[in-house]
Structure 1
């Protein structure tokens, strides 16, 4: 079955290995099978922060990362949220289909509010799940790759689609969530891997920067390297990352290192990561920012055509 897939990222900083193994590699696979829309979610940057920061530079970085990992603009539509006004017009009728109570009890929104850097919670934060519903439904998305923490947002989208269809007639498919099978990577400090915490290896990092980050990674005092995620999470995380880069089981790598200790583990990991990232870094250098922006403009035009058609269908169904 062919699907229309909607996925994307907020331009808040460079993409890292957690993004690659969590979502990017899967997108490259999906582009050969399904119609894929990749959203540069620039409007969503202001949902949980008072200022968007260096947003244009972040958008450029995002585009270069997309192209470097193998997203093909001939196969996928890469587009920018703020360039598609018709998409955002869908927010108003969609908001009329959900209650304040339903928005208020969304667990993902509660978590995002708890970690927000805003001085006060904005109304946009509460409407975030409906905003995402517009992102998915403008292109009649049927498959949404997400992590477990984003499942409540997809449920809101499914709710909006069903209620719209019940009230106004069948317009939207009810999309399905696609849970990734990739293992969860923590940051090099043992905490959640994040752009803002400085605990991740970005795809654009140099070999020397990568080596320095890995040297500073947390391990433990036991010289015998074993893969025990429950009792030795920091060591297990480094073994898992090495395994993903080498295409090997982390247990096998641990046995190979044995009593070589953290130093040998970090040396092996540095070599594995740099070798894995070498072709990605080379492709990144081959694409300049002007070319990336041209690709985005072309994607914006294709996405806007779809959004115009969907909005007109919605207006007709609603009787406008």
Structure 2
């Protein structure tokens, strides 16, 4: 479902639309890097925002790398709490939604040393001032959980450049707010090529067309705000969370995101699960009020998630197999990273 807008498309959006046309014609020429930090359970916002798109690109025939960014957990916190649990939770969610380890490489940062070694030469290609001006870094510093900002926070965009360029990724699915991060990656690739010779592509952004999905409190759905419905939530837990969601005093249900964010967020969630237009969903509920709206949302979410939750439970019965999938992905990522690092060292004239 795509949002209808009368606003002119930005250059990034126009380029993204052209890339979608190219993917449809020749998906095999695209190598895509995407991923998540293991800081908590993935939720419906992740599913409709990014996760289902990864499966779509995989199924179209693009080569997809999915990074579990365990090192980057430390960018905005002092310790990586419950890391093993969260990594395994991500793996279960990926497999449950349809990520196929035979076609998609799933790996984690800490298991691929050669990837992280790229950070050193890449840091020499950007200035401290450039990193400090990055608006995403500024925002993350403002919301950091650390008493003092660490050096890892400032180097986060360059570490992301290493994530993307280690596999010579040429396409990165991002939201509009992540474009500055990707621009750092493009800068690193361009400057390395200018200084040492052509090694890296300058990756393009594939902008997400997914609308912003609000949490149960009417603000952006987030792991840290306690306002999300996890992919692995039970039917009863889903019903409880949605029952407590924020609405308003107007009994007549409409889809007006600007003036009724809580109600509109619930309507949109139902519409996404039902693959329907949100205005039509709201009109159908009409004067049923918040109770009817929440019943509609609960039923829609539970029906949409039922097969995903069933697959998740099935995989969870054999965590040895799940860990083997990650080990195999790490082996594949290590081979790719070692080859790229060797090429980088040769381009820089280093001896081994």
**Is 1:150 matched with 2:178?**
yes
**Is 1:29 matched with 2:56?**
yes
Equivalent residue, structure 2, for 1:196: 224
Alpha-carbon shift at residue 292 of structure 1 (Å)? 1.1
Equivalent residue, structure 2, for 1:14: 41
From 332, 335, 338, the counterpart of 1:302: 332
Alpha-carbon shift at residue 74 of structure 1 (Å)? 0.5
From 278, 298, 302, the counterpart of 1:274: 302
SS of 2:206's equivalent?
Answer: strand
Distance 1:263 1:39 in 2: 40
From 105, 111, 116, the counterpart of 1:77: 105
Equivalent residue, structure 2, for 1:64: 92
Distance 2:101 2:192 in 1: 32
Structure-to-structure mapping, 1:94-109, within 5 angstroms:
94-109=122-137
Alpha-carbon shift at residue 168 of structure 1 (Å)? 0.1
Alpha-carbon shift at residue 289 of structure 1 (Å)? 1.9
Structure-to-structure mapping, 1:304-319, within 5 angstroms:
304-319=334-349
Equivalent residue, structure 2, for 1:54: 82
Q: Deviations over 1:229-280 (max 9, x none)?
A: 1111110110000000001111111111111000000011100000000000
TM-score with structure 1 setting the length: 0.99
SS of 1:201's equivalent?
Answer: coil
SS of 2:42's equivalent?
Answer: coil
TM-score with structure 2 setting the length: 0.90
SS of 1:268's equivalent?
Answer: helix
Equivalent residue, structure 1, for 2:9: none
Alpha-carbon shift at residue 293 of structure 1 (Å)? 0.7
Equivalent residue, structure 2, for 1:258: 286
Distance 1:230 1:47 in 2: 33
From 90, 102, 111, the counterpart of 2:139: 111
> Which segments of 5 or more consecutive residues in structure 1 lack a partner in the other structure?
none
Alpha-carbon shift at residue 51 of structure 1 (Å)? 1.0
Contact 2:212 2:220 in 1 (8 A): no
Q: Deviations over 1:135-193 (max 9, x none)?
A: 00000000000111211110000000000000000000010011011111011101121
Distance 2:285 2:33 in 1: 41
Runs of 4+ in 1 over 6 A off after TM superposition: none
Alpha-carbon shift at residue 67 of structure 1 (Å)? 0.1
Alpha-carbon shift at residue 197 of structure 1 (Å)? 1.1
Output the aligned Cα RMSD. 0.6
From 163, 186, 193, the counterpart of 2:191: 163
Structure-to-structure mapping, 1:228-247, within 5 angstroms:
228-247=256-275
Distance 2:149 2:258 in 1: 36
Equivalent residue, structure 2, for 1:5: 32
Contact 2:34 2:65 in 1 (8 A): yes
Contact 2:65 2:104 in 1 (8 A): yes
Distance 2:128 2:147 in 1: 22
Equivalent residue, structure 1, for 2:21: none
SS of 1:166's equivalent?
Answer: helix
Distance 2:260 2:239 in 1: 22
SS of 1:31's equivalent?
Answer: helix
Alpha-carbon shift at residue 285 of structure 1 (Å)? 1.0
SS of 2:210's equivalent?
Answer: coil
Equivalent residue, structure 2, for 1:172: 200
SS of 1:209's equivalent?
Answer: helix
**Is 1:92 matched with 2:120?**
yes
